[in-house]
Amino acid sequence: MKKRLSLILIVISISMFTNIVTPVTAATDTTDHYDEFRAQRFFNKIKKFNKKLNKHLNSKTELALHRLKVDSKSTTRKSENLKIYWTTFIKRINYLKNDQIEVYVTEEFKILPHKKRVQIIESVQQLVLTYLDNFKAVTPSRYSEGLATTIFCDENHLGRSLFLDNKNFKWND
């Protein structure tokens, strides 16, 4: 019995001794935050890309409006020659990190027939792809496929490209 008691006391004393000697360390932050830094740098690049893209869009719109003579802003005249006036239907473009774009259009855009809307959105896709080629490499097949596109008018969802066919659209009006 004495042996058992002494053995228990030894085990308890050893366990207490190891608990005292073993220092408790707090969890420290050992991450280097490299991934966060890379993500922030990438978002800054996208922000600059969008700013440059919209600046170019605005300059093209100003040129088109100058040709149209601002006093006669008729939608029918614009829609007759979309090669020149397609930018007048676009407010802004946002490129997203997952190779998608958001296109914000004017109220006049809603009046246009679906065929003309598609022509305008395809022009937007080609403009973005042209600028995207400077940002990152774009394959020739990507030019023919286009980018996944979502269209908004006055912050309301107006339409989007189909899931695996970025040249066809589903309209919500």
* Boundaries of every domain in the chain: 36-171
Buried b (16+ CB within 10 A) or exposed e, 87-117: bbbbbebbbeeeeebebbbeeebeebeeebb
Tens place of pLDDT per residue across the chain (173 aa): 777 778 787 877 777 666 555 555 655 656 667 888 888 898 999 999 999 999 999 999 888 888 877 556 677 777 777 888 899 999 999 999 888 999 999 999 999 999 999 999 999 999 999 888 887 878 888 888 889 999 999 889 999 999 888 889 999 87
